[in-house]
Amino acid sequence: MALASSHILFLLVVGLLAYHLITRFVQWRRLRHIPGPPAAGWSKIWLLRHVVSGRLCTKLEETCNEYGPLVRVGPDWVVCGDSVEIRRIWGLRSGYYRTDWYRATRLNPDEENVLTIVDNKAHHQLRSRLQPAYAGKGMDDREPIVDAQVSNLIALIERKYISTEKVTRPCDLARTMQYLTQDTITAVGFGKALGYLDADKDIYGVIEACEAPLLPVHILAFVPILQKIVSSFLFRPLLPKPTDEGGVGPFLGVIKKFVDERYGGGQEEKTKIRRKDILQSFVDSDLRRSQVESEALVTLFGGTDTTATGLRNTIFFLTANPAAYRALQAEIDSATTTTATRPVIADDHAASLPYLGACIREGLRLWPPSMGVMGKQSDGDDVLCGLRVPAKTKVGWAALAVMKDRRVFGENADVFEPRRWIDADAAQLREMEAVYGLVFATGTRWECLGKKLAYVELRKVIFELFRRYDFAMVTPMEPFQWVNHGLTAQHNMRIRITKRIFPNGEE
Q: Where are the alpha helices (DSSP H) in 285-353?
A: 289-302, 305-319, 322-336, 347-350
Q: What is the 3-state secondary structure (H, E, C) of 65-91?
A: HHHCCEEEEECCEEEECCHHHHHHHCC
Q: Are 457 and 146 in contact (CB under 8 A)?
A: yes
pLDDT at residue 404 tops 70: yes
DSSP letter (8 states) at residue 60: H
More confident residue, 1 or 166: 166
pTM: 0.92
Distance CA 123, CA 199 (A): 38
Q: Mean pLDDT score of the chain, rounded to an integer? A: 90
Q: Are 79 and 373 in contact (CB under 8 A)?
A: yes
pLDDT at residue 174 tops 90: yes
Distance CA 2, CA 223 (A): 39
pLDDT digits (tens, 9 = 90+) for 481-503: 999 999 999 999 999 999 998 76
User: Taking residues 189-209, what's their average pLDDT?
Assistant: 89
Between CA 288 and CA 348, with CA 454 as vertex, the angle to 5 degrees is 120
Q: Which of 74-83, 254-263, 355-364, 426-435 has the lowest mean pLDDT?
A: 254-263
Helix (H) or strand (E) holding 495: strand 494-499
User: Taking residues 332-347, what's their average pLDDT?
Assistant: 83
More confident residue, 501 or 134: 134
Q: Which of 22-26, 438-442, 450-454 has the lowest mean pLDDT?
A: 22-26
Distance CA 37, CA 66 (A): 10
CA distances from residue 354 to 181, 359, 419, 442 in whole angstroms, order as listed: 24, 9, 9, 20
Q: Are 398 and 61 in contact (CB under 8 A)?
A: yes
The pLDDT value given to residue 4 = 60
pLDDT at residue 342 tops 60: yes
The DSSP line for 41-58 is: GT-SHHHHHHHHHT-HHH
For strands 487-491 and 481-485, give the pairing.
antiparallel
- Taking residue 287's Cβ as centre, other Cβ atoms within 10 Å add up to 18
The model's confidence at residue 13, banded by pLDDT at 50, 70 and 90, is low
User: Taking residues 235-242, what's their average pLDDT?
Assistant: 78
The pLDDT value given to residue 17 = 65
Cβ-in-10-Å burial (0-12, 13-18, 19+) of 22 comes to exposed
Query: Diameter of the chain by CA atoms?
Result: 101
The model's confidence at residue 257, banded by pLDDT at 50, 70 and 90, is confident
Distance CA 426, CA 412 (A): 19
User: Taking residues 450-468, what's their average pLDDT?
Assistant: 96
The pLDDT value given to residue 2 = 56
Q: Residue 454: how many CA atoms within 13 Å on its side-chain side?
A: 23
The pLDDT value given to residue 241 = 81
